[in-house]
């Protein structure tokens, strides 16, 4: 069953574009198909947050992608641009 992950990352408005670009760079690694079936990167209108909506093939696929060797460096780069703790929610289709 698919798993939807929604991550809201607070960011200083001046860093919002850079953070969005860094998140998008995960398309070839952490957010790569087929584990990650789809993802969208959005910005709050006031540029105070970047939101990632990722659809994973399953929780097992999400966890496997998170355990890949390059993922820690990618997530550390994202965290380095964040202005606070991300809010993460996992949801399943109704």
- At 54, list the tokens: 């990722």
Range of the domain at 72: 3-91
Comparing CA positions, the residue from 43, 39, 40 lying closest to residue 18 is 43
Rounded mean pLDDT for each run of 10 residues along the chain, 94 residues in total: 96 98 95 96 98 97 94 96 98 89
**Confidence at residue 76, expressed as pLDDT on a 0 to 100 scale:** 96
pTM of the full structure: 0.93
How many structural domains compose the chain? 1
Residue 18: predicted pLDDT: 98
Q: What is the CATH number of the domain that holds 46?
A: 3.30.70.100
């Amino acid at each position: 069953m698919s798993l939807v992950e929604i991550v809201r990352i607070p960011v200083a408005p001046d860093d919002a574009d850079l953070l969005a670009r860094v998140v998008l760079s995960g398309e070839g690694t952490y957010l790569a198909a087929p584990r990650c079936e789809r993802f969208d990167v959005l910005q709050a209108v006031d540029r105070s947050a970047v939101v990632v909506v990722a659809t994973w093939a399953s929780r097992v696929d999400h966890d496997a992608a998170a355990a890949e060797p390059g993922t820690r460096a990618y997530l550390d780069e994202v965290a380095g641009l964040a202005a606070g703790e991300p809010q993460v929610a996992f949801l399943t289709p109704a």
